[in-house]
Amino acid sequence: MSAPTIPQISPSEALARQRAGALLIDVRETHECALGYPEGALRVPRATLEAEPGLHVARPAMEVLLICASGRRSLLAAECLARRGYARVASVAGGFARWVEENLPVSRPEGDTDFYQRYSRHLLLPEVGEAGQRRLEAARVALVGAGGLGSPAAFYLAAAGIGTLRLADDDVVDRSNLQRQILHTDDRVGLPKVQSARATLAALNPRVRVEPLAERITAANVERLIGDADVVIDGADNFAVRYLLSDACVKLGKPLVYGAVHRFEGQVSVFDAGRQRGRAPCYRCLFPEPPPPEFAPNCAEAGVLGVLPGIIGLLQANEAIKLVLGFGEPLIGRLLHFDALAMRFRETRLSPDPDCPVCAAGKPFPGYIDYQRFCAAG
C-alpha cells in the first residue's frame, strides 16, 4: 500500500489553522518538549499517538496538525493517522525549529526557566532528560584537590549541573599552577585554591553549591569530607592521599574515580570495591605497595605537559557523571592509559586481589594507618 499524501504546511499556516479550531499535536518526546512547545499544542509522543489516536483525537473528522522537531516524525505520524481513517491531517514543515525561527508563540513548562535553558542540551538526550538532570542536581561529589586534575573535573561537573561540589585542598594559588590549573587566575595568586575555585565555579553556574574546605585530607577528617558524597574524585598528587582515599571509600562504600599524571602520560580508573566486594578492585589491588619516592616524583619535581591534566581530569568528570546517572560502562576493573606524545589510549584489565588487606570479600576493615610512613617505606 502506498503512503497517503499528507499536506505539509508552514508553521504560520499551522498557527492560523489552530486558532481557527484545528488540533495541533506536538509528537516529540517528553524530554524534547521540556525545552518548549507551540503554544496551545497538545503534547503526545508519536508512539503513544499512533498506538491509540482515539484517546487524543475525539473524532476522525477533526482537523489535526502534527509537529515534531524538524517535520520528519510528524509526517510519518500523519501518514499513520491517515491510514487509520483520519482524513484531515497535515504535518508542519520544518517542525518546532522553524516555528521558533518564525518567532511564533511558544510555551514552556512551568517552573524553573533557568533549569530548562541552562541544561537544554542534556534535556535533549533521552539517556539524561529531565529526570537525569534532576539526579545530577541532587548529587554530591567530593573532589580532593583543586589543582591540575581537580580544575577541569570541577569545571565540567559544575557546568553539567552537579548540585553540590565539595572541594578539599589546603594549598594556595601559585603562578606556576596557572599553566594547567585552569580554575585559577593570575590575580588570585596567594589565595587559597578552594576560595579561587569557588569564585570561578559560581561565575560559571550559580546553581551549584560549592563547599570549599581548605584542609589537608587525613585519616582524622577523611570520613567527614567524603561521608555524604555520591562519588569521590581523586585529584591528589601524592600516594599517601590516594591510599587513604581508597581505603576510606572501601569502608564507606563510595565509588572512587582515580586519576594520575606524570610528564606526558596519564591514567584513569574507577575503584568501586566498597560496593562490589570481591568483584571490583580497589587502589591497593593495583598498587599493593607504593613505589619508592625517587620513582614517583610529583609535577613540581618532574614537570608535566600543561594540557595533560586537563584531558585526564575531563575523563574523571565523565566517569563521575556516568556513575551519578547510572548509565554507560564505568572504568570499573579497567585502567585507561593515555600517552599524550603518541596520542594513544590503551586499556589494562584489573582484577580484585582476593588477598587484598582492605577490600577482600568478607574481610573487616583493618583501620586507617600512618599513610605518610607507609609511602615513605615504599
> Is the domain of 48 the same as that of 145?
no
> Is the domain of 32 the same as that of 84?
yes
User: Is the Cα dihedral 227, 315, 339, 274 positive or negative?
Assistant: positive
> Is the domain of 77 the same as that of 129?
no
Tell me if 247 is assigned to some domain. Answer: yes
> Is the domain of 87 the same as that of 155?
no
Taking the C-alpha atoms of residue 291 and residue 287, their distance in angstroms, rounded to an integer, is 8
Supply the pLDDT for residue 294.
59
Which position has the grid cell 539524561? 128
Supply the pLDDT for residue 2.
67
Dump pLDDT digits (tens) for 192-236. 999 999 999 999 999 999 999 999 999 999 999 999 999 999 999
> Is the domain of 201 the same as that of 231?
yes
Supply the pLDDT for residue 33.
85
Q: What is the CATH number of the domain that holds 333?
A: 3.40.50.720
**Residues of 336-360 as b/e, b for ≥16 C-beta within 10 angstroms?**
bebebeeeeeeeeebebbeebebbb
> Is the domain of 73 the same as that of 165?
no
Taking the C-alpha atoms of residue 76 and residue 3, their distance in angstroms, rounded to an integer, is 9
Count of all residues that appear for the chain in the document: 378
HSE (side-chain half, CA atoms, 13 Å) at 355 = 1
Q: Residue 326: left if φ>0, alpha if ψ -120 to 50, beta else—which one?
A: left
> Is the domain of 219 the same as that of 330?
yes
Which position has the grid cell 522553524? 98
Choose among 193, 192, 254: nearest CA to 223: 254
CB 151 within 8 A of CB 180: yes
Helical segments of the chain, H only: 11-19, 30-33, 46-51, 72-83, 95-101, 113-118, 120-123, 129-138, 150-160, 193-204, 222-226, 239-252, 283-286, 299-302, 307-325, 371-377
Supply the pLDDT for residue 4.
83
> Which among 79, 110, 141 is the end of a domain?
110
CB 232 within 8 A of CB 316: no
Tell me if 2 is assigned to some domain. Answer: no
Supply the pLDDT for residue 91.
98
Supply the pLDDT for residue 105.
96
Q: 52 lies in which domain range?
A: 8-110
Tell me if 98 is assigned to some domain. Answer: yes
Catalytic residue positions?
299
Supply the pLDDT for residue 113.
78
> Is the domain of 105 the same as that of 131?
no
> Is the domain of 61 the same as that of 130?
no
Supply the pLDDT for residue 80.
96
Count CB atoms within 10 A of the CB of residue 52.
Answer: 10
Tell me if 116 is assigned to some domain. Answer: no
pTM for this model (two decimals) = 0.82
> Which among 55, 88, 110 is the end of a domain?
110
> Is the domain of 286 the same as that of 328?
yes
The DSSP call for residue 25 is E
Quote the Cα angle for 260-263-267, to 5°. Answer: 25
Look up residue 228 and give its three cell numbers. Answer: 555524604
Supply the pLDDT for residue 324.
98
Low-confidence ranges of the chain (pLDDT < 70): 1-2, 293-301, 377-378
